[in-house]
Amino acid sequence: MTADSRVELPPQYQPAEVEGRRYEEWVARGLFVADASAPGPAYSIVIPPPNVTGSLHMGHALDHTQMDALIRRRRMQGYVTLWLPGMDHAGIATQNVVERELAKEGQSRHDLGREAFVKRVWQWKAESGGKILGQMRRLGDSVDWSRERFTMDEGLSRAVQTIFKRLFDDDLIYRAERIINWCPRCHTALSDIEVDHTDVEGELVSIRYGGGDDAVVVATTRAETMLGDTAVAVHPDDQRYAHLAGREIELPLSGRRIPVVADPHVDPEFGTGAVKVTPAHDPNDFEIGRRHGLPSLTILDERGIVTAPGPFAGLDRFEARPAVVAALREQGRIVAETRPYLHAVGHCSRCGTIVEPRLSLQWFVKVEPLAKAAGDAVRDGRVRIHPPELAARYFAWVDDMHDWCISRQLWWGHRIPVWYGPGGEVVCVGPGEEPPAGAGWQQDGDVLDTWFSSALWPFSTLGWPDDTADLRRFYPTSVLVTGYDILFFWVARMMMFGLYAMRDAGPAEAVPFRVVALHGLVRDQFGRKMSKSRGNTVDPLDWISRFGADATRFTLARGASPGGDVAVGEEWVTGARNFCNKLWNATRFALLNGARVAAAPPDRDALTAADRWILSRLAAVTAEVDDYFERFEFSKLCEVLYHFAWDEVCDWYLELAKTSLAAPQAADRTREVLGYLFDRLLRLLHPVIPFVTDDLWTALTGEDTIMTAPWPGQDEAGRSTPGDWRDPAAEAELSSLMRLVTEVRRFRSDQGLRPGQRVPAVLAGIAATPLGAHEHSIRSLLRLDEPGAEFAATASLQAEGITVELGPAAVDVTAERRRLEKDLAAARKEAEQTERKLASEAFLAKAPASVVTDTRGRLAAARAGIERVSGRLAALGVSSAGSSSRDGKESG
RNA sequence: GGGCGCAUAGCUCAGGGGUAGAGCACUCGCCUUACAAGCGAGGGGUCACUGGUUCGAACCCAGUUGCGCCCACCA
């Protein structure tokens, strides 16, 4: 087949013209769809479900690039692969979005009522939700769209109900009155992980309680809570307050009398050693209150407004605070001046409002037994965390987990399947069961924490609780790819629920995934966290539009070491775009020169050293890439492929190929090697940069798609590519060639010779070296002509045992001398260092023989270098006299 | 308050007991017929500091300093 019969490729890669079309082709041909009944090993990944409200950001792009690369490689390896997409209903986030929309219409959800509001949210989801799914297509995600799931789907809701019922029956879910994190803006309880602690500059106020002998000073940053104080606590051993313990003192402002209790929780070293106790509004105080049977006095409502009777009633908590302080000051109750105080305060992770600890009746998961199992699965190796260093964080979380508050005072989410009877009966209703009928029965009004359904994701998406073919085939999933930032709250919970729900499968098969592969955060080009407030965020879609999906993916993959953060900037993606273009042009070169992919690998006996060298390197690179894939070393595998493709294939092999393509008897063989080489190279790159590789590969081979081409590593004949193709002799020979060419190029550059200028030269002694066979190539790479009849050398240099004598051209004696003097100094330094080393008896006695040999070799090389360079310097002095005016500089 | 990690070129980072690396940036020269989104040749580092182990330390150990991150119910 000849070049003209093939697709003409433009000289620059235009991602926009390729990507959309290819993606739709892949989908249309069903290449992403997993066939659960197909033979062969299975490989599955469930996508960390993005929020319906979300759009694609760099974090997703990183996540998805890694998952897609893993999936694509396995698919090429012949696994039955499933990458399952879907979305999370994102309770609070979504409800907030729709409530804001309603607010614009001057309405609240209460105006609509529950049923209409939920309907409205579904409507919102249908119209504006899930933008991210379309954006995933732009990235090239090879997800199985036929299996797309949503946490509020009928099936997944049934899974939620089922597991709730089981947990309830196993006494692992309970309802209790506890201090929980309350968001006064969202009007709902929050779990610990939905609270972000940030330092806030507060004011520490010291207040004198009681009077006369009873006086005791307490400090607080939340003065308004004193309205709900029901005690003062001191440490039992604190002599300063021994006389007060058990007595009652006067609480300022209200005039109530409250007891002084002795409790070991109090730190006598901190502040005055006395603490005000507000059981209804502080978790510690709640515990103290429980221990001493203190009443809990709620003084704030769900909006954070004071309800305690008196002058402060109706004030917001932040208005009440200074008001209370002012009133105390008036009464002379403020001791000393208030002072600024930096302390960590909890904020609602959804809206940023300061969280209010609040006593209320909520549902909890008893996590202790579940968390223990989740920890054990990692401890005994059923689940591997990668990189292993991060397992410590996992254990820290799992081994010290508080009970999980799962009820939310929201309308959007899975409603708690519990009914309360007129006589206080509590009935948990499982799926398919009829709720109790009759007067007075009512369902719990709350919904479940969004993370409750997310925790079921690895099996609820596969059909659990039914025994489906998908569940049997694809559970446990092969790997979970996510950022270390959500290792705890999501990963740990999937582990707990997976092990619990799937326990019948046996300990090894109940785990939700076999490996957790963690990556870091995407940062900006200066390594700073991306944030909207800093204005340094980058939109992946913008990059995809301007540089292509492949360039975007390659940038992220290339920066991603396991567990490490990725710094990206426009320079990076430009480089990746350039790389794609380089591949484009290299393949284009191969095509223009009639490269062809033969059914069988090239006949080794017919190959030149250059061919054997590049195929040997290809084999080495193939093995490395395979290994890096197994270890999630995306950065390294990209690096290896980048350098192989660019430095070795393009800069050397293609240049060498130009010579052999020009020789009629060698051209066919070279075309064959080029075909083989690019076929393999493109396949190796496909998982990371799917679009450009598919486009080029189909042009090269005439096949439909690279997606189903076998992964290299073993060729069609069952021959292992590494091993068979490795050729150390060819590698050494070509290394020698490259050193020679580089050395002469350096000389030419120093001489100011233009790269294209042809110079007559003699390569004296080349025939006696292994490079003899390459003389033609070497001359071509270096633009050296055969010497004419009247050849007269004006300069010479030695390298690789060859004396290169250059004809009239070389001239810049000063530059050459400077260069040689520098080389001489370096060689002398090296010689000195190695000599000193070899003079040490301790070194000779204790260092391994290989190191000693190596050092001797270095010394010999350095000495030879000194001699050679000295010789050149001397020769320079002689030959420079006569020939300094004919040179390559006349043009510049 | 507890735990973990990091300090290597101008920037972002890899490496890891035996010759200091990459990308980008920088300098010089080139439109050499796949590619100027390119080609060739260069410059640039006390591997944070102080000690220790070792024939040998950027690497291992201890301490110091600086910087991150995670967890956390001390008012």
What percentage of residues in chain A have a pLDDT greater than 70?
Answer: 95
Q: Check if residue A175 sits with its Cβ under 7 angstroms from strand B.
A: no
Highest mean pLDDT of the ranges A66-75, A202-211, A281-290: A66-75
Q: Give residue-wise pLDDT tens across range A537-580.
A: 888 999 999 999 999 999 999 988 777 788 888 889 999 999 99
Q: Judge contact between A331 and A226, C-beta under 8 A.
A: no
As a rounded value in angstroms, the CA-to-C1' distance for A563 and B37 is 31
What is the DSSP pairing of strand A149-150 with strand A86-87? parallel
Among residues A687, A551, A566, the alpha carbon closest in space to that of A635 is found at: A566
As a rounded value in angstroms, the CA-to-C1' distance for A275 and B75 is 6
Residue nearest to nucleotide B14 (CA to C1'): A636
Q: Which of residues 570-609 of A touch strand B (CB under 7 A)?
A: 571-572, 575, 577-578, 580-582, 585-586, 588-589, 592
Q: Check if residue A824 sits with its Cβ under 7 angstroms from strand B.
A: no
Give chain A's count of helices (H) and strands (E).
Answer: 30, 29
Instruction: Name the nucleotide nearest A402; use CA and C1'.
Output: B73
Q: Check if residue A339 sits with its Cβ under 7 angstroms from strand B.
A: no
Q: Check if residue A267 sits with its Cβ under 7 angstroms from strand B.
A: yes
Q: Which pTM was predicted?
A: 0.89
pLDDT at A127 over 60: yes
Q: Check if residue A202 sits with its Cβ under 7 angstroms from strand B.
A: no
Residue nearest to nucleotide B22 (CA to C1'): A639
Nucleotides of B under 7 A from a protein CB: 2-5, 11-15, 18-19, 22-25, 28-32, 34-43, 54-56, 69-75
Instruction: Name the nucleotide nearest A233; use CA and C1'.
Output: B75
What is the pLDDT confidence band of residue A888, given thresholds at 50, 70 and 90? Answer: very low
A179-188, A210-219, A509-518, A771-780 — which is least confidently predicted? A210-219
Question: Average pLDDT in the A246-268 region?
Answer: 83
Instruction: Name the nucleotide nearest A563; use CA and C1'.
Output: B5
pLDDT at A177 over 90: no
Collapsed DSSP state (helix, strand, coil) of residue A318: helix
Q: What ipTM was predicted for this assembly?
A: 0.94
Q: Give residue-wise pLDDT tens across range A394-420.
A: 888 888 888 888 999 989 999 999 999
Q: Check if residue A850 sits with its Cβ under 7 angstroms from strand B.
A: no
Question: Average pLDDT in the A799-807 region?
Answer: 87
Which pair of structure tokens corresponds to residue A587? 């393949």
- Residues near A503 by Cβ (< 8 Å), separated by ≥ 6? A510
Which pair of structure tokens corresponds to residue A507? 């300990």
As a rounded value in angstroms, the CA-to-C1' distance for A751 and B21 is 29
Alpha carbon distance A782, A240 (integer Å):
92
Q: Which of residues 484-503 of A touch strand B (CB under 7 A)?
A: 485, 488
Strand partners, A334: A207
Write out the DSSP string of A748-773. Answer: HHHTT--TT--EEEEEETGGGSGGGG
As a rounded value in angstroms, the CA-to-C1' distance for A878 and B73 is 87
Residue with tokens 């959309």: A20
As a rounded value in angstroms, the CA-to-C1' distance for A749 and B32 is 14
Q: Check if residue A821 sits with its Cβ under 7 angstroms from strand B.
A: no
Instruction: Name the nucleotide nearest A197; use CA and C1'.
Output: B72
Q: Give residue-wise pLDDT tens across range A338-391.
A: 777 777 788 887 778 888 888 888 999 998 899 989 989 998 889 998 888 888
- Residues near A475 by Cβ (< 8 Å), separated by ≥ 6? A44, A458, A459, A462, A464, A502, A505, A509, A512
Q: Which of residues 623-652 of A touch strand B (CB under 7 A)?
A: 635-636, 639, 643, 646, 650-651
Q: Give residue-wise pLDDT tens across range A714-749.
A: 555 545 555 578 899 999 999 999 999 999 998 888
A651/A788: higher pLDDT: A651
Alpha carbon distance A339, A322 (integer Å):
14
Q: Check if residue A13 sits with its Cβ under 7 angstroms from strand B.
A: yes
Instruction: Name the nucleotide nearest A234; use CA and C1'.
Output: B75
Q: Which of residues 407-466 of A touch strand B (CB under 7 A)?
A: none
Q: Give residue-wise pLDDT tens across range A568-622.
A: 888 899 999 999 999 999 999 999 998 988 878 888 888 999 999 999 999 999 9
